Structure 1
Amino acid sequence: MIQSGTKTWFTAAELADLALPGLPRIKRKVNERAAEERWALAVDSRGAPLARPRAGRGGGLEYSIRVLPAISRAELVRRGISIDGQVHSSPDGVGADAAGIAASQLWSWYEAQNAKTRAEAERRLDAVQRIERYEAAGLTRSMAVSAVAQEGVAGQSTLWAWLKLVEGIAAHDRLPCLAPRRRGGGCAAPIDAAVWQYFKSDFLRPEQPTLSSCYARAKEIADAQALSIPCEKTFARRLEREVDPRVIIARREGAEALRRSMPAQKRSVAGLHAMEIVNIDGHKFDVFVALDDGRIIRPMMVAIQDVYSRKILAWRIGETESAVQTRLAFADLFRDFGIPKHCLLDNGRAFASKWITGGAVTRFRFKIKEDEPTGLLTSLGIQIHWATPYRGQSKPIERGFRDLCDSVAKHPAFAGAYTGNKPDAKPENYASKAVPFAEFVAIATRGIAMHNAKTGRRTETANGQSFDQVFAASYAQAPIGKATPEVMRLALLAAEQVNVDRKTGELRFMGNRYWSPSMSNLHGRKVTVRFDPDDLHQALHVYDTAGTYLTSAELLEDAGFLDVASAKKRARQESDWRKAVRTASEMEDLLTAEQLAAMIPDYEDELELPEPQVIRAVHHRGTAAALKPARRTAPDTNFMERFAAAETRLRVVD
C-alpha cells in the first residue's frame, strides 16, 4: 500500500496499478513508454539522475515523479500520494549506477540494430550538433533550429523533436537515444486456429506452393465457414515469426537441402602422400558420339583420381559404366603408378561388383555370400571406403568432372554434338552432328592431360602449382606398392563362381562350355573361374574357393553336323582320354580278380556248432502231425552221429 504524501519514486508496476491519466494501465506498456522516452537516462537541472535501482527482491528500476507527464503528477498530488514534485536525493552513487545500467542496455540495443537504423541515428546527431554550434556562435535556439532547417536537413518541428529526445542526456549517450524506434501498429490480427493449421499444412509441402496460392485456399476455407481472416502479409509475418526456418527447408525442399544449410565439413589432406588414397567415379559426357555400328550414345568415363594431389591418374571411356571399365582402369593405375593403400568409391554397380570388391562385407549392393569370389581390390589388400550415396561432396573427383564439363564437353571440335547439361539448356545447334568415338577419346585424353598440367591451382596442397607438379613431388618420396606380373594378370581377369558338371566335369559359363582333362577330379565342385570379359574365347583359369590355382579350361567349340575334321579331333580326344585313364590305372598297381580270389582264406567243411546250455522241451499240439507217416529218405548218417554226440551232453533243467 502506497503511503500518502511521501511517495516520489515509483516502479512501472506501481504506476500501472495507480491507473494515472496520461500513462498506460499495463506494466508492459509502462515499460515500453519508459524505454521510448528514455526515463532511465533522464537527469534534472543539477544533473542528478531521475532513475535508480529498486531496493528489494526482483530488482528493476524506480522512476522519479519528475519524469511523469504533468497530468500524471497533478493526479498524484490530488490523491495525496505526493505533496510536491521535488526530487528526494538518493544515496551517493545509486542514481549513477542506475544510469550506467540503463546506458549499457541502451547501447546493447543500438548495436543489435541494422545499418539503416544506425545511419539515421548518426544523421540526427549531426543535426543536433549543428544546432549546438550555431548556439555557441551566439544564436538563440530558435534561430539555430531555423538555420539548420533551411539547410535541408529536416523540418523545424522534426528538429525540435530530436532536441527533446536528447534533453538531459549526456553527450556520449545521445546516439542510441536518437536512433528511430519503428514499431508495428499494435497487436497482431487474430487468425482462426483451424485456418492457420490448414495454411501451414498447405505451405509446408514438397510441391512448394507459393504463399499467395496457400493464402487464397485458406481464405476459401474461411469464407465457407463465415470466418474473417487478416491480409496475406499477416500470414507471412506469423509464418516467419512462429515456424522454424529449418522446418520450412526440410518440409519444402527435403532432407538434402536441410543438410546443405549446415556448413560443409572440410577434410584436410596435409597428412597424406601421393597414391595413399585414390577415389573412383563415373561421368557421362554431354556429347553425342557415334559408334562404329552406327549407334549414337553419350560416352561414359570411369576415372581414378589421387586424393592428395587431385591428379586424374587413370581412366577408361566406353558405352556404359561397368565393372569391365573399372577393372581396366585399375589395371592402368597398377601398371603406370602402382598399388594404392586406400580407395574411396560409391556403391554403383560398376564398383560394388563382386569382380571389384567381392569379399568386402560392408558394401551396400548385392547379396553378400560367404563363399563369393575375392574381388580385385580385396585380394590386393586395398582398404575400401564407401562414400555416402548421392552425395558428390564425398568424392573429390566430382570437382574435376566439373572442369571437364567445360574443357572437354564444350570443345570446339564437338560443336553441334554438345547436348547441354540439362534438358532445358540445349544449345541452338542441338543434335546437329555426332562425333566419331575414336576422335572423342583422343580429345578427351588431351583434355585430361591439360587438366592435370594447368597451373594456379588453389587446393590445400597445390598453392599455385599444377596437379602434375604436386603429384610428382610427393610420388618421388612416398612408399608406393609396385604391381608384379601376377598382380597384373589378376587385375586383367575378372572372377566368378560356377559349379563343375557332376557327370562330365565341364564348366558352363557365359553361354560357352569349357573343359580340360585335368578337371577330372573336380566333378560337382564349386570353383572360382578368372577370365577376360573382353575375350571369352580364351581359356578360363580355375581356382578353388580359397583362391588356390587348380588348372585352366579350354573353350569347347560347337562342331558342324557333318564336320569330319571335328569328328576326327573328337575321336583323338577320346582315345587320348582312354589312354590317359589306362596309364593312370596301370600306375595304381592293381591286383587282378584271380589274385583277389586266391587271397581269400579257405573254410573247414565242418563247422563247430555251439553247445546249448539250456534245453527247452517242445510238445506237439494234436496227433495228426505225429501219426502222419514221414516220407522215407536215406538217413543222414553224419547228422545222426552229430546228434548222438550232442545228446550225451544234454541235461534237464527244472
Structure 2
Amino acid sequence: MMLKVSDIVCLPGVPTTNRGARDWLKAREIPVAIERNRFWFHLSDLPEDVRSAYELRRIEAAGLDGGEFDAEAHDLFAAATPHMRKVALRKAEIARFLVKAGVRKGCGITRAVEAQAQATFGKDLTNRQALRRISQAVEGVDPVNFAPALLHDYARTGSPEAEISEEAWSYFMTTLRDAGPEFPLMQAWRDVRDVGAKCGWSWPSYSTVWNRWNALPEAQKIHARHGREAAVKALAMPVTRDKTSVKPLEWVSLDGRTLDFWVDFGDGKPVRPLMVALIDSATNFVLGYELDRSENAVAVGRVIRKVCMEHGIFDRLYPDNGSAFASHYVAGGAKHKWRGKGKAEGDVVPLGVCHHLGIEMTFAIPKNAQAKAAERTFATISRTIDDRPEFKGAHAGHAPGAAPDDSIVPVPFDVAARVIQREIERHNHEEGRKGQGARGRSYAQMFRDGLAGRIVRRPTSQQLYWASLIYTAGSVDRFGRVHVGTWSYGGPETQDALLGWHKQGQILIGRDPDNFEAPAVAFDSKGYLICKGIEPVKAGAYDSVKGALEAAKNRKAARQAVAAAEAANGYLTDAKMAAALAALDTLDTPKGSEPEPPAKVVGARFGGTLKPERKAVEKPKAATVPEEFLRNMDAAIAAKLAGGERLA
C-alpha cells in the first residue's frame, strides 16, 4: 500500500511537517518515489511502531474500535518477508472497508460493495470471491490485528511449508558436516533421496530443500560446512579500537611476508624474497623493512636495531607467534610468549634484542594475527608492489609453495630493492589519507606530528652491540673458560671474573652471529653483566711451537696473577709473624675463663644408619698362684731329692 508523506505527519516519532517527515524517511533509508510532485512510499517499509500507529489512526477514522493489540501476532508479522507484509496490509485496508460496509462472514457483498471496493483499491484482490475470503479471515479478529491475521501461512521464502521427515533432514545435515566444505548441496540431496526411498522418509524437491537450507541462520550453515572453530571465527564480531588514543612509537607492529615475484640474489637462483617490516600502529607509517631469503631471527633483529637507530627506541613491539619473532634472539627475556610456553626452561633464559634495547613485547593471540596493523598494511601494498610492471616475467602468483619454471626470469636483487624502496616511500608520503586521525595528512606527516613532545630514546653503542649478539647458556670450567658447542672462550684477562661462576650454574655467553672469533660477553641469569672482551680459545696444531709458546704465555700470565694476588694479600714478614706468635705466650689468662671441655658428641658416620654402641666384653683375668702353694711345692721337691728320688 502506497502512502504520501503527509499521511504519516504527526504520528508518534515522526516530525510534524512534510519536510521534516521527508528527512525522517531519508535518515531511515526508506525508499521514496516522486510522482505528480508528491513523495510516495510503501506502508510496509515503515518501522513497526509507526506502522501500527498509522493503522490505528485509519481504524479510528473508519469509526471502528481497534480492540486489543496482539503483540505475538505482530511479532510474527514483522518476521515475514516485505512482500508478504505488503499484501497483508493491503488486505487489512480492504477488510476495514468491508467491516464498515456491514459485511460479516463473507455475507452481504453486493455488486455495489464490489464496485466501490474496486474503485477505492483497484481490481487486485477486490473481486467478490477475494472479498469473501478476506471477510471470513478476519471474522472475530480485532481490527488492530487484521494485518497479522491476513498474513499468508507461507514460509519466509514465499513457498508453502513442505513436509520433511526429521530423520531425512538430520541425515542431510550430517552428510554436509562430515563431507568436505565444497561438497555439492545437490549431491547431498540425492544421497538423502536414495536413502529416504528405502527408509520411508518424506523428502521434497531440491528447490524446496535449497530454500530451507538457505533460510537457516548463518551459524548453522557455517558449522555444517566448516566446523565449530570456523563458525566461531566467522561470527565473532571484532572489536574496534581508537587509534588516536596512542601516539607514534608507542605500539609498533612486526610482520613478515613472502613476496609474489622471483629475485636473483646474485647466485643465479630464483628465490621469492621475504620482507620483514616494522609499522607504527598509530599512523600506519612503515618505519623500516628488511629483505632476505627467508624469515629468520637475525634479519628481524637487524631491522629492529636499524629502526631504533633512525627513529629512536619504541615502547612496545606487537608481533605474531612466528618462530623468528618468538625466538630467543628476538624475544629472549620476554615476560610472556604463546609459542613454546609449555616447554621447560633451563637454568638460564637467553636474552634477546628487545631485552637489551628496553622494548616490551606483546604477542598476538594465536590464530588472530590479522589484528596487527602490519597485516593490513601488507594487504594494502602487496598488490602495488608485487604486481608492478618492473617485475614482468618474474611474477610467481599468490600460492605459497609455487616453484619457478623455465619461463621465469628472476629480477636482480638491486632492481627489486630499488622498486620496493620507492613504493614504500610513496606509501608513507601519499597525502589525502582518510583513516583515524589522518584528516587528509600523509602517514609520514602524521608520524612527524605525533612525535611532538615525545622524549626520543636513542640507543647507545653498547646497547646496539649487546643487542646484535646471539646468547647461549654455558658453564664455566675450573680454568675459567666457557665451552659453547665446539668453541671455547676465556683467557687470562677474564679468568678471575669467570672463576667465580665455576660450579655456580650456567651463565649466558653472547657472541657475534656473523663472527664467532670475535670477543664474547658474559651475563648472569638475571641479566647482569659479568665481563666482556672474552677472547676465543683457538686450538693449535698438535706438537706445534706456536702451541707451546701459547702455553708458556698462559703460565706466565698465571704467575703474574698469582704474584699480584700475593702482594694484595698483605702477608706479614717472618720476623713480625714470630713476634705476633710470641705475644700469644705472654697472655695472662684470667681464672675462671678457661674454656669448658667440649661436650661429647657423636662423630660423623657415613654409610649405614647410626646404631647404639656395643659394650666391650671383659677379658678373663690371668690366674694368680698363692705363695703358700709355692712354698709347699718347694718343700716337697727338696724332700724327694734328699731321699735319692729322681724328679720326673
TM-score, normalised relative to structure 1? 0.64
SS for the counterpart of 2:488 is strand
For residue 300 of structure 2, the aligned residue among 326, 329, 333 is: 326
Q: Which residue of 2 aligns with 1:548?
A: 529
For residue 262 of structure 1, the aligned residue among 196, 218, 236 is: 236
Displacement after TM superposition at 1:154 (Å): 6.0
What is the identity, as a one-letter code, of the residue corresponding to 2:172? F
For residue 116 of structure 1, the aligned residue among 47, 67, 83 is: 83
Q: In 2, Cα distance between the equivalents of 1:423 and 1:617?
A: 95
CA-to-partner distance for each residue in 1:528-586, whole Å, 9 max, x for gaps? 2222212222111122333123132223334455865x346525523533442453354
- Determine if the alignment matches structure 1 residue 250 to structure 2 residue 213: no
Residues 563/328 of structure 1: CA separation in 2 closer, same or farther (3 Å cut): same
Give the conservation status (yes or no) of the 8 Å contact 1:328–1:491: no
Give the conservation status (yes or no) of the 8 Å contact 1:189–1:234: no
After superposition, where does 1:214-233 map in structure 2 within 5 Å? 214-225=188-199, 229-233=203-207
For residue 446 of structure 2, the aligned residue among 442, 448, 470 is: 470
Q: In 1, Cα distance between the equivalents of 2:264 and 2:288?
A: 23
Residues 207/446 of structure 1: CA separation in 2 closer, same or farther (3 Å cut): same
For residue 204 of structure 1, the aligned residue among 174, 177, 187 is: 177
SS for the counterpart of 1:442 is helix
After superposition, where does 1:278-289 map in structure 2 within 5 Å? 278-289=252-263
Residues 186/474 of structure 1: CA separation in 2 closer, same or farther (3 Å cut): closer
Q: Which residue of 1 aligns with 2:395?
A: 418
Displacement after TM superposition at 1:599 (Å): 10
- Determine if the alignment matches structure 1 residue 486 to structure 2 residue 462: yes
Q: In 1, Cα distance between the equivalents of 2:129 and 2:201?
A: 43
Displacement after TM superposition at 1:527 (Å): 2.0
Q: Which residue of 2 aligns with 1:301?
A: 275
Give the conservation status (yes or no) of the 8 Å contact 2:253–2:279: yes
RMSD of aligned C-alpha atoms?
4.8
What is the identity, as a one-letter code, of the residue corresponding to 2:293? E
SS for the counterpart of 1:556 is coil
CA-to-partner distance for each residue in 1:47-103, whole Å, 9 max, x for gaps? 775xxxxxxxxxxxxxxxxxxxxxxxxxxxxxxxxxxxxxxxxxxxxxx141x747x
SS for the counterpart of 1:496 is strand
Residues 107/479 of structure 1: CA separation in 2 closer, same or farther (3 Å cut): same
- Determine if the alignment matches structure 1 residue 515 to structure 2 residue 490: yes
Q: Which residue of 2 aligns with 1:584?
A: 564
Q: Which residue of 2 aligns with 1:3?
A: none
Q: Which residue of 1 aligns with 2:553?
A: 573
Displacement after TM superposition at 1:210 (Å): 2.9
CA-to-partner distance for each residue in 1:382-417, whole Å, 9 max, x for gaps? 332121122233201111111231122122221121
Stretch moving more, 575-584 or 201-210: 575-584
Q: In 2, Cα distance between the equivalents of 1:160 and 1:258?
A: 54
Stretch moving more, 442-451 or 231-240: 231-240
- Determine if the alignment matches structure 1 residue 434 to structure 2 residue 410: yes
Displacement after TM superposition at 1:309 (Å): 0.8
Q: In 1, Cα distance between the equivalents of 2:117 and 2:293?
A: 83
Give the conservation status (yes or no) of the 8 Å contact 1:518–1:551: no
Residues 573/177 of structure 1: CA separation in 2 closer, same or farther (3 Å cut): closer
Displacement after TM superposition at 1:452 (Å): 0.9
Give the conservation status (yes or no) of the 8 Å contact 1:127–1:148: no
Give the conservation status (yes or no) of the 8 Å contact 1:289–1:437: yes
What is the identity, as a one-letter code, of the residue corresponding to 2:415? E
What is the identity, as a one-letter code, of the residue corresponding to 1:201? T
Q: Which residue of 2 aligns with 1:499?
A: 475
Give the conservation status (yes or no) of the 8 Å contact 1:279–1:344: yes
Q: Which residue of 1 aligns with 2:621?
A: 620
Q: Which residue of 1 aligns with 2:608?
A: none
What is the identity, as a one-letter code, of the residue corresponding to 2:421? T
What is the identity, as a one-letter code, of the residue corresponding to 1:312? V
Displacement after TM superposition at 1:370 (Å): 5.8
Q: In 1, Cα distance between the equivalents of 2:409 and 2:304?
A: 33
Give the conservation status (yes or no) of the 8 Å contact 2:114–2:126: no
Q: Which residue of 1 aligns with 2:334?
A: 360
Q: In 2, Cα distance between the equivalents of 1:423 and 1:276?
A: 33
Residues 197/118 of structure 1: CA separation in 2 closer, same or farther (3 Å cut): closer
Give the conservation status (yes or no) of the 8 Å contact 2:472–2:508: yes
For residue 183 of structure 1, the aligned residue among 149, 154, 159 is: 154
Q: In 2, Cα distance between the equivalents of 1:358 and 1:333?
A: 19
Instruction: Note the residue ranges of structure 2 that are not aligned, 5 or more in a row.
Output: 1-54, 96-110, 586-616, 626-648
Identity of aligned residues (%): 22
Q: In 1, Cα distance between the equivalents of 2:273 and 2:463?
A: 29
- Determine if the alignment matches structure 1 residue 271 to structure 2 residue 245: yes
Residues 466/162 of structure 1: CA separation in 2 closer, same or farther (3 Å cut): farther
What is the identity, as a one-letter code, of the residue corresponding to 1:505? G
Displacement after TM superposition at 1:148 (Å): 11
CA-to-partner distance for each residue in 1:423-472, whole Å, 9 max, x for gaps? 79999x98511122233223222221111111222210212221101001
Q: Which residue of 2 aligns with 1:12?
A: none
Displacement after TM superposition at 1:494 (Å): 3.1
Residues 287/162 of structure 1: CA separation in 2 closer, same or farther (3 Å cut): same
SS for the counterpart of 2:409 is coil
Q: In 2, Cα distance between the equivalents of 1:510 and 1:107?
A: 79
- Determine if the alignment matches structure 1 residue 378 to structure 2 residue 355: yes
Give the conservation status (yes or no) of the 8 Å contact 1:529–1:542: yes
SS for the counterpart of 2:533 is strand
Q: Which residue of 2 aligns with 1:66?
A: none
Residues 332/190 of structure 1: CA separation in 2 closer, same or farther (3 Å cut): closer
Instruction: Note the residue ranges of structure 1 that are not aligned, 5 or more in a row.
Output: 1-39, 50-95, 129-138, 604-615, 625-654
Give the conservation status (yes or no) of the 8 Å contact 1:275–1:341: yes
TM-score, normalised relative to structure 2? 0.65
Stretch moving more, 114-123 or 539-548: 114-123
Q: Which residue of 2 aligns with 1:448?
A: 424
Stretch moving more, 197-206 or 110-119: 110-119
Displacement after TM superposition at 1:178 (Å): 12
Give the conservation status (yes or no) of the 8 Å contact 2:255–2:319: yes
Give the conservation status (yes or no) of the 8 Å contact 1:288–1:297: yes
- Determine if the alignment matches structure 1 residue 538 to structure 2 residue 518: yes
